[in-house]
Structures are given as C-alpha cells and as structure tokens.
Structure 1
Amino acid sequence: MYPYSPISLIDLPSTTCYSSSIAYLSVSVRNFNDCLCLLDGRLSQLHTFIVKVYRIHNTSMIINNTKTLSNLKCFSLISFRYTIEYDNHILPYLRQMSQLEKLTLSLIVRHRTSFIDGAHLFNDILSKMLYLHTFICNIITGNVVMDAEFLPTPDDVRHPLIEKGYNVNGYTDYTNLSNGLCHIYSVPFTMDRMHIHSNKFAGGLFITVRYLYLQDYVHSFEHNFFAEISRAFPLLRTLMIFNLSGQEKLRYQPNEQEETSSIIEFSHLITLGLTMCYIDYAKQFLFDFNTRLPYLKKLYIKYEDLMIVTEIFTNNAARANCSKLERIIFDLEPMSYPENFHLYFPLL
C-alpha cells in the first residue's frame, strides 16, 4: 500500500523533452532508474528534487552528465520497500551532490556489512557536503551480519551525529548474529509515514505521522507496546501490522481489577491492517476491553480470524470497534455470509 501512484519514465523515448526551466520538482516514480532519468542533465535549472521511489531494485541506468547532480540545492529520497542497492547505486550519486543545502533520506536497506549509523552518515555523506545546513533521516538497516564482540548500542548509532549538532534518535535489535537491525531517525520527526521493524522501538512523540507500519519477524508485539505506540503517534490514521508471533500476555475477557486506563485508544485511526498477523492481534485491537477504535472505517483481516474473534459475529466484546466499519478487505472472500453478518457490521 502506497499513498501515491508512481509513474514510470525509463521506457520513454530518449527524445522525450523535459522543460529545462524546471527548478522545483516533486514526483513519485516506480524505480530508481526513473529517478536517474530525471537527473541526466536535461533539467539543467533543477535545484530542488523531491522523489518518492516505489522500489529501488535492478538499477541499470548510469548518469554520464552529472551537472544536474552537482547543481542541486535540495534533495529528498524516500522509499519504503527494502533495497540492497544503497552502496552501489544510491551512495555514489549522493557523493556527487556537493552543493546540497538540504538532504532528506528515508530508506530501508538490507544485507550491508554494517549499519547505516551516525558515523557512516557523517563520514561518508554529510562531511562531503560543505554547504549543507539541514539533514533529515529515517533509515532502517536490516539483515546485517554482526560481530559477536561488537554489537553497537543505540548510543553508538546516534552519538556521532549528535556530537556534530544533528538531533537524532534510534534503536538496535539483535535477533541473532545474522540479523542485526538499526533504525536511526531525525527528531523532531517531520515525515507523515514511518516503519518500525522491531519491538525495541525507542518511543518518543511523532505528531506528524499518519501512516505507521509495524513489523517483527521474531518477537511479539505486546499490549504495553501498543500502548506506547498510541502515545507516540497520537494522530495516526493508518496502522498496518506484520507479526506472526502470538502474544505472551493477551486478555481474552475484561479484568475488573484492572483500571480502565489500561485500555488503549487510537482516537483518529481509520484504517487497520491485520491480514499478516497472528490471530492474537485481532483480539488485541477488536476487543474493546483491550483497545478502543472509535473511528475505524476500514479493516484488512483474514475472514477465518474475524469469524473466530467475533464468535461468528455474535461476540459483544468486538461489536463496538466494528460498528463503524464501512469496508472489510478479506484475504479470501467467502462464498456466502452468515445471516447476522450485516447486523454485526451495519454500515457495510
């Protein structure tokens, strides 16, 4: 799911004309080849280039005319699908942007030999940009093979940038030595979308984020984790979750001894994605004694999970959070629905 519709430029004829007077360009493209097409020298007046790339893979294009690169004052590269092409295709072009004054990088990178941490960002990129005054980052490095004798701490990751005057935070996670993960991001956070790939999330306040993707292949997301998420992202509108691990502490019924303050509320959440989740997360979010979702309108979920959680659309514990749903997207549509299905979801 992407909040923008990317275009493709790589297959256009080489004679295609671009206006050479364009100075500011914000565009969404399918791959990094499309991005490079716009930096091949034809946009000679371009000084601000903001590009969202659907996926950075199979990059084959090479820029021979680097004038546009060297003239850029502001560059923003955003991609939310993982890439393994950072070192071979992204980093070399960044190093040619010697006149940059503002740089924004939001990337998910896999299979490097080390983290993209504060030391790397400053030594290999920022120190080469003598005119740079603003740097904004949101970078996840995953699937890094680690040395058991040197496992960087969150302080190791962020301190090299902090001591240079950049405000950043971050966290690390070591599921095993072949799967190190690091996430470094600027604070205060100013982007509208964020991915979190570990339950080791460092917390904070992310007032601008409207779309959040949560993923952890090994560890479960517990109730307290979601409570922290609800506080950290108070204006969240879309939440997508990928986690196949069952929760260790799941409440199946109200506990009269616990205060109502333990109930989590996502006051602005409209879209919730649970298709790629263990069934516990449907219970976590749909049972109103766990979570309140007063404005939930769209739900992605497995039909079988919804049948079980709602006890074939009779369970009152999930009724309140389901009452305002206007659309449910199932993994597999059933041939028919029980008679009480539409009574349970009156707005469908």
Structure 2
Amino acid sequence: MSNLEELTLYLTIDNRTAFIDGTHIYNEILSHVPRLHIFNFCICTEIKMDDLVHRLSKDDIQETFPNTIYQKVDCMVQYGDYHRVCHVSSVPFMFDYLGYIGNTFPSIIFSHIKRLTVDDRVAFEHEFFNRIAWSFPLLEHLCVINFMSPSQISKQLNSNDNQLNSIVKYPHLIWLCIESAHIDYVEQFLNETKTHLPSLTKLTVFYGHLYVVTENFTRYITRRNCMKVNELDIDNEKIERSKDFNAYFPLL
C-alpha cells in the first residue's frame, strides 16, 4: 500500500456517531500512502439523529481537509428527522451513482452520474428539478423520496397559464421512481407542461396517485410522458386494463 500512486474509493457507511471528515481520511488513508497523487473518492456517512451531537455545517467539514488532498473537495450535509447524511467527495465527481442528496447540493455539473436518489424533509420546488436537470445532464435513473407538498407559491408558478415557467427536461431518463413521494411529484413529472421525459421506459409509482393524477387515464397532458413506458411497477395493485389505460401505456 505504501507504493500506491492512484486510488479510487466509493464508500457508504452507516451506524456511526460522527461523520467521516478530512481528518479521518488523512489518518486512516492518506498517512499510509505517501506516494499517492491521484485520489478520486466519495464517502457517504449516515448517522442517527442525536440532539446532543454538534450540528456540523458544510464549511465545518471542509475545513478538516488537509492540503495533502490533491483534488478539490466538496461536501454535502443533510439533516433529516431521524438521520443525518454527509457526502464528501473529490471534484470532479468520477462516479455514476449518488444517493440521498437534498435541496442543497453544489452548483456544478456531475458529468458521470447516471443514477441519483433525492430525499429531503423539505419540499422540492420546481426550481429544484431544474437544478437537477442542469447538474446531472446524463441522468438515467431518478428516485424521489419526499412526502412534503411543494408550496402554494410553487404550484402557482407551475400553473399551465404561466408562460414564464420553464419545462424541466430529462432527455436520458429511462427509469423514474416516485412511489415514496407526495402525489404532487407525480403531477410534477407526468404533466408535460412541467417536465419532458422523452426516454422514460420504466415507472415506479403508487397506483392510487397515478390514477388520480391521470384522472383515470383520461387526462391528455399527463399522457405523453407515459407513452414509451414498457414496465410499470405499482405496488402489487391489480390493474384494470381499460381502453383508456391501454391508450396511456400502449407498450405494456
């Protein structure tokens, strides 16, 4: 190991009482590989919520990284109701998966990521999905976990009559998972006036939400994003394949 010159490392660690930070990385890794000059890494730490633990910010974490780490380092810290998640990674991000990020993430382009999970206790507004589309241009698989409804202001901005509202475009997205999300996010993704999904072939969604948003598979503006779906995952619900349903999902 002492002769190692290049290292690529992706780790997800849970059941800890503290985040993995720069000090830990230096003591446990860098101090043992003096010849290392390329270090691509992403380390995700999840700890259970404890009110006695000091609440660390992104800046607190980044200040722990020594100058001996050769690439630029970025950090994302998210505090949920029951757990805390921290990602520390080298930049540019060299991996194809990133899990459990929330509303706050760096304004950079993740040019390698194809699979992403977003999760937050704060609602995702329309602008958040615009940022996701910009930062993850090659995204193929998106999972949304959020049970909070967007604000009324956001809903007004997303109304069909608002010509200033930009349509979110995910040209490469083939799999969308929104089964653990508020019904408003089903509306957000299936309504073609809000989101464009030209490549979507797999949809994972709660059937009751799908039924309501599509108005029993009769609503025109939610049909186009469903037309290419050839795999529908709907939590063991029995589907009544009506004429309208078949028109919505002609490839099933």
Using the size of structure 2 for normalisation, the TM-score is 0.88
| Structure with higher RCO (Cα < 8 A, 6+ apart) | 2
Structure 1 residue aligned with 2:139: 236
Distance 2:114 2:84 in 1: 27
Structure 2 residue aligned with 1:259: 164
Q: Find runs of 4+ consecutive structure 1 residues off by over 6 angstroms.
A: none
3-state SS of the aligned residue for 1:130? coil
Match for 2:241 among 330, 337, 343?
337
After TM superposition, the structure 1 = structure 2 runs for residues 28-177 of structure 1, keeping only pairs within 5 Å, are 97-144=1-48, 150-161=54-65, 163-164=67-68, 165-175=70-80
TM superposition shift of 1:202:
2.4
Structure 1 residues 299 and 114: CA distance shift in structure 2, 3 A = same
Structure 1 residues 146 and 134: CA distance shift in structure 2, 3 A = farther
Amino acid at match of 1:243: N
TM superposition shift of 1:173:
2.6
Instruction: Please say if residues 227 and 251 of structure 2, whose CA atoms lie closer than 8 Å, have aligned partners that are also in contact.
Output: yes
Distance 1:146 1:344 in 2: 47
3-state SS of the aligned residue for 1:195? strand
After TM superposition, the structure 1 = structure 2 runs for residues 189-200 of structure 1, keeping only pairs within 5 Å, are 189-200=93-104
Q: Deviations over 1:309-333 (max 9, x none)?
A: 1000011120121122222121123
Structure 1 residues 346 and 162: CA distance shift in structure 2, 3 A = farther
Structure 1 residues 305 and 109: CA distance shift in structure 2, 3 A = same
Structure 2 residue aligned with 1:13: none
1:222 aligns with 2:125: yes
1:205 aligns with 2:97: no
TM superposition shift of 1:255:
3.6
Structure 1 residues 146 and 119: CA distance shift in structure 2, 3 A = farther
Instruction: Please say if residues 162 and 168 of structure 1, whose CA atoms lie closer than 8 Å, have aligned partners that are also in contact.
Output: no
Q: Deviations over 1:156-183 (max 9, x none)?
A: 222343633331111223346x733311
Structure 1 residue aligned with 2:231: 327
Amino acid at match of 1:220: A
Match for 2:83 among 168, 179, 183?
179
Amino acid at match of 2:204: Y
Amino acid at match of 2:59: D
Distance 1:202 1:319 in 2: 33
After TM superposition, the structure 1 = structure 2 runs for residues 254-293 of structure 1, keeping only pairs within 5 Å, are 254-260=159-165, 262-293=166-197
Instruction: Please say if residues 114 and 145 of structure 1, whose CA atoms lie closer than 8 Å, have aligned partners that are also in contact.
Output: no
Amino acid at match of 1:133: H
Q: Unaligned regions of 5+ residues in structure 1, if any? A: 1-96
Instruction: Please say if residues 19 and 47 of structure 2, whose CA atoms lie closer than 8 Å, have aligned partners that are also in contact.
Output: no
Q: Alignment identity in percent?
A: 37
3-state SS of the aligned residue for 2:148? coil
Distance 2:143 2:119 in 1: 9
After TM superposition, the structure 1 = structure 2 runs for residues 5-20 of structure 1, keeping only pairs within 5 Å, are none
Amino acid at match of 1:238: H
RMSD: 2.3
Instruction: Please say if residues 41 and 90 of structure 2, whose CA atoms lie closer than 8 Å, have aligned partners that are also in contact.
Output: yes
Q: Unaligned regions of 5+ residues in structure 2, if any? A: none
Distance 2:50 2:231 in 1: 44
Q: Deviations over 1:39-78 (max 9, x none)?
A: xxxxxxxxxxxxxxxxxxxxxxxxxxxxxxxxxxxxxxxx
Instruction: Please say if residues 230 and 265 of structure 1, whose CA atoms lie closer than 8 Å, have aligned partners that are also in contact.
Output: yes
Structure 1 residues 330 and 257: CA distance shift in structure 2, 3 A = closer
3-state SS of the aligned residue for 1:234? coil
TM superposition shift of 1:335:
5.0
Instruction: Please say if residues 18 and 47 of structure 2, whose CA atoms lie closer than 8 Å, have aligned partners that are also in contact.
Output: no
